[in-house]
Amino acid sequence: MTLSGKTRVAAVLGWPISHSLSPRLHNYWLKENRIDGVYIPLAVNPDNIANVVKLLPHLGLTGVNLTVPHKEAAMMFVDGVDSLAKRVGAINTIVIAEDGSLQGRNTDVFGFKEALNQNTGTDIIRDGTAVVIGAGGASRAVIVALLDLGAREIRIVNRTSEKAELLAASWGPILRPVLWEERNEALSGASFLVNTTTLGMENMPPLDLTLDALPKNAVVNDIVYRPLLTPLLCAAKERGNSVVDGLWMLLQQGRPGFAAWFGCDPAVTPKLREHVLEMA
C-alpha cells in the first residue's frame, strides 16, 4: 500500500481501540476493491470526544466509525442524524460531506437485519415472538430492527429490570419486560432469541440460560463474536436450533459506511470472515 496526498482516510474512534476488528475489515475491502484509501484505529479518550468530532472536517478525513464508549455522546456533536439513529439513540458512523458537515448514521440496525438475511432469512421474525437478552445500547439497535421486521411480541430480559421497563415504556406494548429470574420460561413459544449482553464473551461468565422451553425451530443469535461459538450458540446448536454468530452483524454493519465513504458497496464473503477471524 502506497499512501499519498490523494489517499482517502477513514478511522474508527474508540477507548480502548486495540481490539477493534474494523481496521482489518475495512482495509481488506479497500484492497479488494483497489481503492486508494486507508482505515486507521484512533484511541480517543471519552473526555476528548467532543473536540475530536468537531475537528474531523479540518483533518480531511472521509468519515469515521464510532465504537464503545462514544456511540451516544458523539451524536451531540454532529450536524445531523438519520431517522434510524434517532430511534436507536446512538450513531456508529459519521459521513463527512464536501462542505465539512458531519452526518451521523446508525448502521447496526442494517447489520443485524443483513446478518439474518445472509443466514436464516428474516421470515422467522415477522408475526413471531422474539426474546432479547439485555437492555443496553446494542439491545436498542436490535429492538428497532425487530420492530421494523414485524415482530408481534418482543420480550426484554434484563438483569436490571428498570431498564427493560424503560425500553418497553418508550416503544409501546409490543415490548414486554421480563424479570431476570423468569428468563428460562420466557423462551416458551419464541421464534427468535438474541443475546445482546457481553455474557459469553472471552473472560466473561457465560449467559446462564436453560433452553429447554425454546422451540426447536427458533433461531438463536449472539452479538458476541469472541468466541465465534459462544456457550449459548453451542447449547442451541446441540439441541438442533439454527444459530447466527455475532461476526455476521459486525461485518454487515460496516457496509453502509464503506459505501458512503468510498463509493462502493463491499461484499461479506467467507474469505473476509476468515481474514478477520485470523485476528479475532
Residues annotated as part of the active site: 71
Separation CA 36–CA 8 (nearest Å)? 6
Edge-first strand order for the sheet with 129-133 is 175-179, 153-158, 129-133, 192-195, 219-222, 242-244
- Is residue 273 a contact residue for ligand ATR (CB under 6 A)? no
> Does the footprint of ligand ATR cover residue 275 (CB under 6 A)?
no
The alpha carbon dihedral of 216, 225, 175, 158 has a sign of positive
Determine, following the binding rule CB under 6 A, whether residue 158 of this chain makes contact with ligand ATR: yes
User: How far apart are the C-alpha atoms of 220 and 29, rounded to whole Å?
Assistant: 28
Q: How far apart are CA 265 and CA 4, in angstroms?
A: 24
Pick the stretch among 4-12, 46-54, 81-89, 133-141 that binds ligand ATR (CB under 6 A): 133-141
Return the bridge partners of 195, or none.
133, 222
35 vs 74, beta carbon nearer ligand ATR: 74
DSSP code per residue over 43-101: E--GGGHHHHHHHHHHHT--EEEE-TT-TTGGGGGSSEE-HHHHHHT--SEEEE-TTS-
Cα separation, 49 vs 264, in Å, equals: 29
In the complex, minimum distance from the CB of residue 32 to ligand ATR, in angstroms, rounded to a whole number: 29
Of 135 and 268, which CB lies nearer to ligand ATR in the complex structure? 135
Contact segment (CB under 6 A) with ligand ATR among 40-48, 134-142, 225-233, 258-266 equals 134-142
Which of 136, 189, 227, 231 forms a contact with ligand ATR (CB under 6 A)? 136
160 counts as binding ligand ATR under rule CB under 6 A:
yes
Total interface residues for ligand ATR by CB under 6 A: 14
Decide if residue 254 touches ligand ATR (CB under 6 A): no
Q: Which of 75, 78, 85, 138 binds ligand ATR (CB under 6 A)?
A: 138
Residues in CB range of 82: below 8 A, 6 or more apart: 103, 104, 105, 106
Which residue has the CB atom at the shortest distance from ligand ATR?
A: 136
Counting contacts by CB under 6 A, is residue 221 touching ligand ATR? no
- Binders of ligand ATR among residues 44 to 103 (CB under 6 A) are none
| Residue of 27, 184, 198, 242 interacting with ligand ATR (CB under 6 A) | 198
Q: Pick from 41, 63, 104, 134: which binds ligand ATR (CB under 6 A)?
A: 134
Are the C-beta atoms of residues 191 and 219 closer than 8 Å to each other? yes
Cα angle 20, 21, 22; round to 5: 90
- Give the nearer residue to ligand ATR in terms of CB position, either 181 or 274: 181
Interface residue with ligand ATR, options 20, 62, 107, 197 (CB under 6 A)? 197
Q: Which stretch binds ligand ATR (CB under 6 A): 14-22, 44-52, 156-164, 229-237?
A: 156-164
State the cell numbers at 103. 452526518
DSSP string over 234-265:
HHHHHTT-EEE-HHHHHHHHHHHHHHHHHSS-
Q: Is 163 in the site for ligand ATR (CB under 6 A)?
A: yes
- Point out which residues bind ligand ATR (CB under 6 A): 134-139, 158-160, 163, 196-199
